[in-house]
């Protein structure tokens, strides 16, 4: 049998494999030679983030723990492309690697999983919420200081089962992952109440910068509007990303007239203080708008806020 034309690396979770399948199918439809049987091989790689289940990832190094080993496989020429959830990505790629394409973005909202309760405001006083995300914890406590937020790791099925069994009263999950897995559970939370993570709902494909054939194939499936919005969000994050222990949220959208609207938020981990900003401008200025928003948040937070 002939070797595959393209080897795609991914984490082994059910969601990661579904997302990689979406990339494979998009490439097979867009590039005739990649549609042939055996042309694309999916390579499962276990990451540090998958191995750590006993503590918050922020205590183990934060961003990058779900991508490190996959990027090493790219640099070692063991795979040709890698599929990532964009919210797992650090603000800069290692030398020699580049994000070359995005799938169309899915719903960016968070979802409250709390049985019959559909609003954060209606959770019982002192309810126990399971979440490993600092951003979610800080926003929950900002809205409801009485809530108890406990560390909650595991894949989607594991977290749903823990909540259903009563280990916690509620948990929060990303709508994008639930929709890609075909799960209809919980109640979406508006962005006005819970601003998403930077990159939430976006799937990116990374490859070697000097791999012209792979970059050419990926260009055929790149969703430019998603790339533009994520560029604004990541430019903001790059200014703020001094600590993996800082709750940061951000989301950019495009208007029909080509304008971009970015909302950004930083919080104290205990939710006691939140600082928000927004920017509106031309989509072509996405990165500049994001950087400017980040600089404002950093200045308003002052020394120590982001430590």
**Domains of the chain listed by start with CATH number:** 1-103+202-222 (3.40.190.10), 110-188 (3.40.190.10), 223-301 (3.30.160.40)
Question: What's the chain's average pLDDT?
Answer: 92
| Residues that are catalytic | 88
Q: How many CA atoms lie within 13 A of 173 on its CB side?
A: 27
Residue 89 DSSP class: -
**DSSP codes, 191-207:** TTTSPPPTTTT-EEEEE
Judged on CB neighbours under 10 Å (0-12, 13-18, 19+), 109 is: buried
C-alpha to C-alpha distance for 23 and 71, rounded to whole angstroms: 17
Q: pLDDT per residue over 84-127, tens digit each?
A: 999 989 888 899 999 999 999 999 999 999 999 999 999 999 99
C-alpha to C-alpha distance for 50 and 53, rounded to whole angstroms: 7
Q: What is the pLDDT of residue 2?
A: 82
Contact, 105 vs 223, CB < 8 A? Answer: yes
Q: Between 184 and 57, whose confidence is greater?
A: 184
Q: What is the pLDDT of residue 303?
A: 84
Q: pLDDT per residue over 25-53, tens digit each?
A: 999 999 999 999 999 999 999 876 554 44
Cα–chain center distance at 277: 20
Q: Which two tokens stand for residue 251?
A: 């989301």
pLDDT of 243 higher than 90: no
Question: In b/e form, how buried is each residue of 127-154, taking b as 16+ CB within 10 angstroms?
Answer: bbbbbbbbbbbbbbbbbbeebebebbbe
C-alpha to C-alpha distance for 179 and 38, rounded to whole angstroms: 28
Of 28, 54, 43, 53, the closest CA to residue 76 belongs to 43
**Three-state SS for 67?**
coil
- In terms of DSSP H, where are the helices of 144-285? 156-164, 175-180, 212-219, 224-240
Enumerate residues 6+ apart whose C-beta is below 8 A from 152. 130, 131, 132, 159, 162, 168, 171
Of 182, 178, 28, the closest CA to residue 113 belongs to 178
Please report, rounded to a whole number, the percentage of residues in the chain having pLDDT higher than 70. Answer: 93
Q: What is the pLDDT of residue 94?
A: 94
Of 184, 179, 182, 161, the closest CA to residue 171 belongs to 161
Q: What is the pLDDT of residue 60?
A: 44
């Amino acid at each position: 049998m002939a070797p595959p034309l393209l080897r795609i690396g991914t984490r082994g979770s059910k969601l990661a494999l579904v997302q990689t399948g979406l990339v494979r199918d998009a490439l097979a439809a867009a590039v005739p030679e990649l549609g042939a049987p055996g042309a694309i091989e999916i390579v499962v790689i276990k990451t540090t983030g998958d191995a750590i289940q006993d503590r918050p990832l922020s205590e183990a190094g934060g961003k990058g723990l779900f991508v490190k080993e996959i990027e090493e496989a790219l640099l070692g020429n063991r795979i040709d492309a890698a599929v990532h959830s964009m919210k797992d990505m650090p603000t800069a790629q290692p030398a020699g690697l580049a994000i070359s394409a995005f799938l169309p973005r899915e719903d960016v909202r968070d979802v409250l999983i709390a049985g019959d309760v559909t609003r954060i405001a209606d959770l019982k006083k002192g309810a126990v919420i399971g979440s490993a995300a600092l951003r979610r914890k800080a926003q929950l406590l900002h809205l409801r200081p009485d809530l108890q937020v406990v560390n909650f790791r595991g894949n989607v099925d594991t977290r749903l089962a823990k909540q259903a069994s009563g280990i916690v009263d509620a948990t929060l999950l990303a709508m994008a992952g639930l929709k890609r897995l075909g799960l209809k559970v919980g109640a979406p939370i508006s962005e006005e109440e819970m601003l998403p993570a930077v990159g939430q709902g976006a799937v990116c494909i990374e490859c070697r910068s000097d791999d012209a054939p792979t970059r050419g194939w990926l260009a055929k499936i790149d969703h430019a509007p998603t790339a533009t919005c994520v560029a604004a969000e990541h430019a903001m994050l790059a200014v703020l990303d001094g600590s993996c222990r800082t709750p940061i949220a951000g989301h950019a959208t495009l208007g029909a007239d080509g304008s971009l609207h970015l909302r950004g938020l930083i919080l104290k981990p205990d939710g006691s203080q939140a600082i928000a900003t927004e920017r509106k401008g031309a989509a072509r200025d996405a990165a500049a708008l994001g950087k400017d928003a980040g600089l404002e948040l950093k200045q308003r937070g002052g020394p120590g806020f982001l430590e």
